[in-house]
Amino acid sequence: MDSTSLRLRTPGPLYRVFGVVVSVWITVVLVLGITGDVSNLPILEHTARNLYFHVPMWFVLYLASLVGAWHSWRYLRTRERLHDVRAEQAWIVATGFGVVALVTGVVWARFTWYQGTGLWWSPEPRQNLVAVQLLITGAYFVLRGSVDEPRMRGRLSAVYALFATALLPYLTYVLPRQMQSLHPGAEGNPAFSEMDIAPQMRWVFYASSIGFLLLAWWIYTIRVRAAAADLRLQASQAASD
């Protein structure tokens, strides 16, 4: 393994400032999300606060998956190990935020649409299709763990990542919109943005979306640096043996 191909620029002071800004931003969003005013919408009431956390997780899932697909495609073209590292870490971030999105959606549905039924896992089409997508995403890591040879693992993982990313919008957006559902944006049910929510909720929602995207990028870059450093260490140890 050529460890020089895994070298990254040393982060400067702006990177540390970025981390502080993201931390403060997310803290403010959490405070406003928990304590701010909400619209007195039927059924939703104070559960509408989940909008600040549930929806931004989907934004991260989509964008992180695209980043993973981009680096997977770049790896297939260049065979540069760093692209494989970046693709894997992007998929880890996407999967982590995707699981949080699913869990917050399950809890939200439990205490609004299915309150009093005792159901924790509902027949909601989007919820079930998202679970399918996350299982497909999880298979990416199973595939990586089943192949020992780095180049073969990188190639197979990259092809699979492109396949899984192509399914993502279909399973989580296109198909659910064609089904009868209580979820906003589904057939016969207007999107949440069309509902009469308080203007101050919109600003917190926009800030939350930006904040969680920045947080995801920060986590991603930290993980890439850690993974690349670990591989460089393995390469140097193998060379010295």
Dump pLDDT digits (tens) for 104-123: 988 888 877 766 677 777 77
- Does residue 222 register a pLDDT over 70? yes
Residue 54's contacts (CB-CB under 8 Å, 6 or more residues apart) are 101, 104, 105, 108
Provide the token pair at 38. Answer: 């909400």
pTM for the whole structure: 0.88
pLDDT of residue 46: 74
Place of tokens 């979820």: 183
Domain ranges of the chain: 11-231
Phi, psi of 165 (to 5 degrees): -65, -35
